[in-house]
């Protein structure tokens, strides 16, 4: 399952995604945690020290290697140089699985031990001084789009992505690459305005979106969220002393999280699992192609010096089980 956490800056995306990740890991589920935010905070939220987090390898720095691996023997992709972030997989491409060893994980993923269970963490990498004025953040996030487009994941295994704030997510096709998007909203007009905007952009692409209220302090807050988000509201996570202790540097075990908040995490898991049955691999693949063609036309063809539309393998559909490894439906 491919799950994203989005929302306004400071709404609690990192807090809730890290707690959701911990909740899944505690249940023994395989999880890949992805930090795709320009401000990289997921590592520390999962318990890494700042030094450990700073020394994580970044996806952004390994793009050529990642492209070369994913390209595999795909005859439609001449070289890694001709691969852009949206180049879709086709027959011959190498696909990734959540539970496996591969050169991409060896280079970029790091195991993070939690108080219950452990996960693999991938980070896009921070915006460095060398990037100022020459690179845009979307080139780093592109690595995540590429990975998700090549990832075959099944029921009960998860990629959980902490996304960049607000509607910056729409700068690429990344927002369409998830089975379910949790929009974290504080019970405020600003929190809800990001939800409205997201819903509008997401509507045209059939993005499954549920609102998670956060820092909810009482019945009035809840009533506000219900009124504003209606049926899109899935759950409300309370203002949490446990989260506050965490923020103060304590390392409270997950089992001591307030029961009502733990119940919210379980609800999120149910919702994520239910999204599995609504998957549509054909649509998923079609959208990947659609974004590729748009990117090819707007900048990719000029950059690569070839017509990147020729990279599309019309016969290929990204499968969702191990059985569909080859991906092609023929």
x/- track of binding to ligand ATP for residues 149-188 (CB under 6 A): ----------------x-----------------------
CB of 238 to ligand ATP, least distance (A): 6
Question: Which 7-66 positions form the footprint of Mg ion (CB under 5 A)?
Answer: 13-14, 41
Bridge-based pairing state of the strands 31-35 and 209-216: unpaired
CB of 217 to ligand ATP, least distance (A): 9
215 makes contact, choosing from Mg ion, ligand ATP, none, with CB < 5 to 8 Å by partner type, with ligand ATP
Single residue of 2, 4, 15, 25 touching ligand ATP by CB under 6 A: 15
Nearer to ligand ATP, 20 or 69 (CB): 20
The neighbouring-strand residues paired with 236 are 213
The neighbouring-strand residues paired with 183 are 6, 211
What distance in Å separates the CA atoms of residue 3 and residue 163, rounded to the nearest whole number? 10
172 makes contact, choosing from Mg ion, ligand ATP, none, with CB < 5 to 8 Å by partner type, with none
The neighbouring-strand residues paired with 151 are 96
Start-to-end CA distance of the chain, whole Å, equals: 24
Helix pair 219-229, 189-203: axis angle to 10 deg: 30
DSSP class per residue in 247-310: HTT----GGGS-HHHHHHHHHHHHHHHHHGGG--HHHHHHHHHHHHHHHIIIIIHHHHTS-GGG
Nearer to ligand ATP, 15 or 149 (CB): 15
* Interface segment toward ligand ATP; rule CB under 6 A; list 12-20, 66-74, 127-135, 263-271: 12-20
Residue carrying structure tokens 């994913």: 70
How many positions of this chain bind ligand ATP (CB under 6 A)?
20
Q: Does residue 55 belong to the site contacting ligand ATP (CB under 6 A)?
A: no
Write the CA distances from 116 to 46, 199, 225, integer angstroms: 11, 35, 32
Single residue of 2, 13, 23, 71 touching ligand ATP by CB under 6 A: 13
Q: Does residue 14 belong to the site contacting ligand ATP (CB under 6 A)?
A: yes
Chain residues in the site for ligand ATP (CB under 6 A): 7, 9-15, 37, 39, 41, 165, 214-215, 237, 239-240, 243-244, 247
Interface contacts to Mg ion, rule CB under 5 A: 13-14, 41
């Amino acid at each position: 399952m491919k799950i994203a956490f989005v929302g306004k800056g400071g709404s609690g995306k990192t807090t809730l995604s890290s707690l959701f990740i911990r909740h899944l890991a505690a249940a023994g589920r395989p999880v890949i945690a992805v930090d795709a935010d320009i401000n990289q905070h997921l590592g520390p939220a999962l318990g890494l020290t700042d030094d450990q987090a700073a020394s994580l390898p970044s996806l952004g720095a390994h793009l050529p290697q990642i492209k070369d691996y994913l390209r595999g023997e795909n005859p439609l992709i001449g070289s890694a140089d001709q691969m852009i972030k949206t180049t879709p997989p086709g027959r011959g491409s190498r696909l990734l699985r959540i539970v496996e060893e591969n050169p991409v994980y060896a280079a970029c993923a790091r195991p993070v031990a939690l108080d219950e269970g452990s996960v693999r963490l991938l980070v896009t990498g921070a915006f460095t001084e060398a990037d100022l004025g020459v690179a845009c953040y979307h080139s780093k996030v592109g690595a995540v789009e590429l990975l998700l487009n090549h990832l075959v994941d099944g029921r009960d295994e998860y990629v959980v992505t902490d996304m960049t704030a607000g509607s910056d997510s729409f700068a690429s096709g990344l927002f369409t690459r998830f089975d379910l998007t949790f929009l974290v909203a504080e019970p405020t007009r600003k929190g809800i305005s990001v939800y409205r905007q997201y819903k509008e952009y997401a509507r045209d692409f059939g993005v499954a979106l549920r609102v998670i209220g956060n820092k909810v302090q009482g019945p009035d807050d809840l009533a506000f969220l219900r009124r504003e988000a209606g049926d899109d509201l899935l759950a409300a996570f309370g203002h949490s002393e446990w989260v506050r202790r965490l923020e103060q540097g304590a390392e409270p075990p997950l089992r001591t999280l307030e029961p009502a908040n733990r119940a919210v995490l379980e609800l999120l898991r149910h919702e994520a699992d239910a999204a599995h049955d609504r998957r549509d691999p054909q649509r998923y693949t079609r959208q990947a192609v659609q974004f590729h063609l748009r990117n090819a036309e707007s900048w990719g063809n000029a950059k690569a010096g070839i017509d990147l539309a020729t990279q599309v393998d019309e016969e290929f559909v990204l499968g969702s089980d191990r059985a569909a490894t080859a991906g092609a439906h023929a």
